Structure 1
Amino acid sequence: MTLAGRTERVFITGASSGIGAALAREYAARGATLGLVARRGELLRDLVASLPNPERHRSYALDVLDHAALAAAAADFIDACGGADIVVASAGISHGTLTERPEDLPVFASVFATNVNATVATFAPFIFQMKVQGTPCRLVAVGSVAGVRGMRGAGAYCASKAAVHAYCESLRLELKRSAIRVVTIVPGYIDTPMTRNNPFPMPFLMPAGRFAARAVDAIARGDSYRVLPWQMGVVAKLLRALPNPLFDLLFSRAPQKRRKGAA
């Protein structure tokens, strides 16, 4: 499935592992030309080498917190490929945090810088070019079901993903009159290195490859907001509908994410 019956040009951050790598494999299997961004250059090179038509793809070993380097990579991809059709901000981190612990304040800042600010910095260099192209384009953010309600010990992660969801709503309205569609993909529990560290049961755990295939289809349709797997969408709606006293009663003793550096 393509946006305009041509080879898609797809730029993905956080591409060396997890959801980003799964999306890269899915898009490559569908014939796309990729620009892949990640901090870990060796893993990124191995990924590119494993993809169909590896000579077609470009890789950029950089930290998404370096906004100048990210903008330079975007400019290089646009110049090399004549534009971009899909940009996926998939880079993200997750750590447990406790507001009462002063040493966790830098962790809060790091989570927001990676999950929220870097999403904005990923999209910004592409918008003008996409408007000029005038063809159907997508800006895609990877949110999380964790952004639907706050969970104990996960204030930074939950709040950052809620911010991503709200930011994408604003951006969707800003770009409504253009050919650019803003898509928020909201994973539930996906089997990735990040979720394997969770010390609690994960209902409806979905393989990363299956998630990627369904996400790519939702992106092609231009869905504004899509929870995957669908069962977690039902769970998310139920959680949102719970009155605060009942929510607090049910989840005040729920297991929590490990704090950074904790055993």
Structure 2
Amino acid sequence: MNAAPLVFITGASSGIGQALAARFRRAGYRLALVARREAEVRAWATAQGCSEADAGVYAADVRDLAAIEAAGRACIAAQGVPDVVIANAGISVGIDTEIFDDLEVMRATYETNVIGVAATFHPFMRAMRRRRSGTLVGIASVAGIRGLPGHGAYCSSKSAVISYCESLRGEMRPDAVRVVTLLPGYIDTPLTRENRYSMPFLMTAEDFADQAFEAIRAGTSYRVIPWQMGIVAKLLRLLPNALFDRVLAGRPRKHRQGE
């Protein structure tokens, strides 16, 4: 009897990561959940009625390359090679380049949001290639399409995720491994609740997870969720710089660390 399929998710302690875990579990997947806050993930898994066979929990910060590598290897040893790997862990903090301390915030953002994606995929790529199956999912953001004032670290990091996953998609295609890039719009999570500006088409993490699950199952290479934000993103991309700058004039900046 074949084991149920396995999904590996980083940033699984709350928000999008937790919602994705719940959605995949409803679809019959076994879970491999990674977060810095291991106790919170274990408590959630217990509350969901998961057994140890249903859900493996691994403590790791994706900025710590050795730790996320070890988590991946532990997952393979205990549960097998995942069918789906979702690099979801991310941080969102505003920066002001004039302030020296914010350069460290930018470094942390890049290490988490960009290097962390590659580090999440790394332990599984060789095995997926040999098996000639698997799906690698990078969680980017609509914010990666154009830069927003005060949001330079986050926007540029998510733009990097989009380009990285596009590059990886071409590399993995000959070995039948899919790469899916998902661009959430505004999702109601702890990360967005502190935003000081309007968030059009705000959706719940659960609704996002439903649509993300369908896109991942279909192997869609690139998907903006919700679709309305996809239209907004395309329009923003087409705006000339002068008009784009005028539209954003006076928009509240993303909060900085400690604000």
TM over 0.5: yes
**Contact kept in structure 2, 1:29 and 1:52, CA below 8 Å:** no
Is residue 87–residue 138 contact of structure 1 (8 Å, CA) maintained in 2?
Answer: yes
Q: Which residue of 1 aligns with 2:156?
A: 159
1:84-99 matches, within 5 Å, as 84-99=82-97
Map of 1:148 onto structure 2: 145
Deviations 1:235-255 (A, max 9, x none): 000000001111011113211
Measure the CA separation in 1 of the matches of 2:206 and 2:212.
10
Runs of 4 or more consecutive aligned structure 1 residues displaced over 6 Å after TM superposition: none
Q: TM-score, normalization: structure 1?
A: 0.95
Q: Which amino acid aligns with 1:130?
A: M
> Which segments of 5 or more consecutive residues in structure 1 lack a partner in the other structure?
none
Aligned-pair CA distance for 1:111: 0.4
- SS of 2:148's equivalent in the other structure is coil
Deviation at 1:145, TM superposition (A): 0.5
CA distance in 1, matches of 2:122, 2:160: 17
State the number of aligned residues.
Answer: 257
Displacement, 1:52?
Answer: 4.5
What's the secondary structure of 2:209's corresponding residue? helix
1:72 to 59, 70, 73: 70
Is the Cα–Cα contact under 8 Å of residues 37 and 61 in structure 1 kept in the other structure? yes
Report the TM-score, using the length of structure 2 for normalisation.
0.96
Computed over aligned residues only, the root mean square deviation of the Cα atoms, in angstroms, reads 1.2
What is the CA–CA distance in structure 2 between the aligned matches of 1:82 and 1:21, rounded to whole Å?
A: 21
Q: How far does the alpha carbon of each residue in 1:181-213 deviate from its partner, in whole angstroms, 9 at most, with x for none?
A: 100110000111111010111110001111101
Is 1:59 the counterpart of 2:65 in the alignment?
A: no
More displaced stretch, 107-116 vs 96-105: 96-105
Contact 1:44 1:61 in 2 (8 A): no
Q: What SS does the corresponding residue of 1:54 show, helix, strand or coil?
A: coil
- Structure 2 counterparts to residues 55-204 of structure 1, below 5 A: 55=52, 56-135=54-133, 137-204=134-201
**What is the distance in 2 between the residues matched to 1:133 and 1:49?**
32
Structure 2 spans left out of the alignment, 5+ residues:
none
- Hey, what's the Cα distance between the residues in 1 that align with 2:67 and 2:98? 35
